[in-house]
């Protein structure tokens, strides 16, 4: 999943869309699936492996952005005895369609993850599966991994299990519709309980020291021939939905740890250097960060409706660096915590978009049943962390380049203008990085005769270059330029 969600709803022929298309070509991002993979997907869509249990009587619903078709998850929430709750969470069973060492499987190992661009997405699996047969779209029976998680009245897990089942979603909801129904008290109980359970799990997260960023979506639009940047803050329902996914990931990790074989998602604690860099960004964006306040406290105090707070939340993703996967057999590993979750955690809820989730789902199934994991899973397990790391590096590189292109488009008609910013980084070659306050853009500051300004210094800079696909955002010191003209 992308750290920074950027959307560009533009016609096919704009400077930005041309630059994004060129980026995909230069990076050898596959535009289509090979013929043998597409043919296998067509055949697999007609002949899934069906599970023994039929759970199509449960009225599941999905909750996703309105345009999404690759629906990994569906839920049904009910009240339980003694004031508790039952979470039934269905996850698309990719193994019902994709068989080990098949053309589909080998292509998934090459792609590793769905890639997200501002103007499109490049899927992990062919659309015949990911957006049709294997997706939990309403009113079609689909094989799934069905989780049952019972919570007490405080949201604490009492019991959890997972099995294969055939399910059928009844409703496809988007976040705005769900939020409106919850706020207006018109939601039926399974949806209304999303707020109750979500709030309880958010409190559990705060208590254990975890943190969900809730990064706003950036939308770059072309209006009157000029690019403009808008932020869309997450709705509460999006956070509550994410809590159900996090809950499932933590119980999956616990099952695997108890069995001694598994695949965890891990993240080290943010380094002091990363936090210091984030403090400088906060100062540049006029975000208040009291000296005695922790990073998590600052994030929770932010209002993503404010542009500078939304921009700061985008930059908070930098402290997530170092995330990876830990595979283990024969006992629990030493490296097992995810710092942002503040708990053991596994990726199991997005198998249509991440390769690792298919394997982690199989490991959780085996752990719950008390059986040995399938041979094809154990065979692939040792190499999965590096496979996913390579995929993550490529996704991060493309994401960073997309941000550069978007920011260049945003600034392309402002060459020569002077902006106020702050130096947030200085490289060994003397080249600095400046974070502007408005617009919240980051750019390279070319060193003047005396070198780059000190780290953390407020500066006035003049924009010298910004053109999508030609030059990223670049600045020079406005003071130096003015002095040169005076001389």
**What pLDDT, on the 0 to 100 scale, is given for residue 448?**
65
DSSP per-residue string spanning 102-127: SHHHHHHHHH-B-EE-SS-EE-SS-H
pLDDT at 314 over 80: no
- What is the pairing mode between strands 458-467 and 471-477? antiparallel
Q: Are residues 138 and 284 in the same domain?
A: no
Helix axes 355-369, 236-259, angle to 10 degrees: 50
pLDDT value for 449: 56
Given a cut of 90, whether residue 296 has pLDDT beyond it is no
Q: Which is more confidently placed, 447 or 433?
A: 433
Rg, Å, the chain Cα set: 24
Last residue of a domain, one of 306, 321, 336: 321
Quick one: pLDDT at residue 485? Answer: 39
Is the pLDDT confidence value at 426 over 50? Answer: yes
Kindly tell me if the per-residue pLDDT of 425 is higher than 90. no
Three-state DSSP state, 338: strand
CB atoms within 10 A of CB 469: 18
Q: 1 in a domain, yes or no?
A: no
Other CB atoms within a 10 A radius of the CB of residue 170 amount to: 15
* Domain stop point among 287, 321, 355: 321
Structure tokens at 148: 């049952």
| Residue 230 domain flag | yes
Domain span including residue 285: 270-321
pLDDT band, very low/low/confident/very high, at 283 (cuts 50, 70, 90): confident
- What are the tokens at 130? 């990911």
Based on the fold, state whether residues 239 and 387 are members of the same structural domain.
yes
Residues 255 and 282 in one domain: no
CA gap 269, 14 in Å, rounded:
41
Q: Which of 321, 339, 362 is where one domain is finished?
A: 321
- For residues 373 and 434, membership in a common domain is answered with no
pLDDT(223) > 80: no
Give CA–CA dist 253/60, Å, rounded.
24
Rounded mean pLDDT of the chain?
A: 89
C-alpha–C-alpha distance, residues 72 and 62, integer Å: 9
CATH number, residue 474? 2.40.50.140
Across 291-449, the runs of DSSP E, i.e. the strands, are 324-328, 418-426, 432-436, 442-445
**433 shares a domain with 383:** no
Q: What is the pLDDT of residue 436?
A: 86
Of 107, 170, 114, the closest CA to residue 142 belongs to 170
Total count of domains within the chain: 3
Residue 4 has pLDDT above 60, yes or no: no
* Residue 304 shares a structural domain with residue 186: no
Q: Does some domain include residue 55?
A: yes
Transcribe 71-90 into DSSP letters: --EEEEEEE-GGG-EEEEEE
Residue 121 located in a structural domain: yes
Residues 479-486, mean pLDDT to the nearest whole number: 46
Residue 375 lies in a domain: yes
Residue 23 lies in a domain: no
Residues 219/230, Cβ–Cβ less than 8 Å: yes
pLDDT of res. 481: 45
* CB distance 166 to 209 below 8 Å: no
Pick the more confident residue, 11 or 87.
Answer: 87
Residue 24, domain member (yes or no): no
Q: What is the pTM of this model?
A: 0.89
What's the CA gap between 168 and 331, in Å, rounded? 37
Question: Tens digits of per-residue pLDDT, 25-46?
Answer: 999 999 899 999 999 999 999 9
Do 136 and 229 fall into the same domain? yes
If asked whether residues 218 and 99 sit together in one domain, one would say: yes
Residue 82 to residues 164, 195, 197, 203, 422: CA-CA distances in angstroms?
Answer: 28, 19, 15, 20, 55
Q: Is 232 strand, coil or helix?
A: strand
What pLDDT sits at residue 373? 97
The continuous run of DSSP H or E covering 221 comes out as: strand 217-223
281 and 249 belong to one structural domain: no
DSSP codes joined into one string, 471-484: EEEEEEEHHHHHHH
Identify whether residues 229 and 157 lie together within a single domain.
yes
From 12-16, 149-153, 167-171, 403-407, the region with the lowest mean pLDDT = 12-16
Identify whether residues 43 and 152 lie together within a single domain: yes
Placement of tokens 């097992």 in the chain: 336
Residue 337 lies in a domain: yes
Q: Which residue has the tokens 């094989």?
A: 143
> By C-alpha distance, which of 17, 173, 168, 199 is closest to 88?
168
Residues 109 and 235 in one domain: yes
Mean per-residue pLDDT, 254-273: 93
Local confidence band at 151 (pLDDT 50, 70, 90 cut-offs): very high
């Amino acid at each position: 999943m992308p750290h920074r969600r950027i959307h560009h709803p533009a016609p096919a022929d704009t400077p930005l869309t041309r630059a994004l298309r060129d980026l995909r070509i230069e990076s050898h991002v596959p535009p289509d699936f090979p013929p043998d993979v597409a043919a296998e997907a067509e055949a697999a869509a007609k002949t899934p492996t069906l599970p023994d249990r039929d759970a199509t009587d449960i009225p599941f619903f999905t909750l996703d952005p309105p345009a999404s078709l690759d629906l990994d998850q569906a839920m049904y929430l009910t009240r339980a005895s003694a004031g508790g709750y039952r979470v039934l969470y269905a996850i698309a069973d990719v193994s019902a369609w994709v068989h080990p060492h098949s053309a589909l499987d080998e292509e998934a190992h090459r792609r590793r993850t769905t890639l997200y661009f501002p103007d499109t997405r490049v899927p992990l699996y062919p659309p015949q599966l990911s957006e049709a047969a294997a997706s939990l779209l309403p009113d079609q029976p689909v094989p799934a991994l069905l989780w049952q998680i019972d919570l007490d009245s405080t949201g604490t897990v009492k019991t959890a299990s997972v099995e294969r089942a055939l399910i059928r979603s009844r409703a496809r909801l988007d976040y705005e519709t769900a939020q409106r129904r919850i706020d207006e008290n018109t939601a039926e109980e399974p949806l209304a309980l999303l707020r109750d359970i979500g709030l309880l799990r958010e409190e559990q997260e705060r208590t254990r020291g975890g943190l969900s960023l809730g990064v706003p979506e950036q939308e770059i639009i072309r209006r009157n021939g000029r690019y403009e940047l808008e932020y869309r803050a997450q709705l509460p329902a999006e956070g509550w939905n994410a809590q159900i996914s996090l809950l499932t990931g933590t119980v999956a990790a616990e099952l695997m740890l108890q069995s001694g074989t598994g695949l965890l998602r891990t993240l080290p604690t943010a380094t002091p250097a990363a936090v210091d860099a984030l403090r400088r960004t906060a100062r540049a964006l006029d975000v208040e960060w009291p000296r005695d306040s922790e990073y998590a406290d600052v994030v929770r105090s932010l209002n993503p409706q404010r542009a500078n707070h939304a921009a700061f939340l985008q930059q908070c993703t930098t402290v997530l660096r170092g995330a990876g996967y830990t595979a283990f057999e024969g006992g629990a590993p030493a490296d097992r915590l995810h710092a942002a979750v503040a708990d053991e955690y596994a990726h199991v809820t997005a198998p249509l978009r991440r390769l690792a989730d298919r394997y982690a789902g199989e490991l959780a199934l085996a752990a719950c049943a008390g059986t040995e994991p399938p041979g094809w899973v154990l065979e692939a397990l040792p190499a999965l962390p590096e496979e996913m790391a390579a995929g993550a590096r490529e996704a991060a590189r493309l994401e960073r380049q997309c941000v550069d292109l978007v920011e260049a488009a945003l600034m392309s008609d402002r060459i020569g203008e002077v902006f106020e910013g702050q130096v947030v980084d200085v490289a060994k070659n003397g080249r600095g990085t400046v974070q502007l306050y408005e617009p919240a853009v980051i750019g390279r500051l070319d060193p003047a005769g005396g070198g780059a300004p000190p780290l953390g210094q407020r500066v006035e800079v003049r924009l010298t270059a910004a053109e999508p696909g030609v030059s990223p955002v670049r600045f020079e010191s406005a003071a130096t330029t003015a002095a040169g003209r005076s001389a």
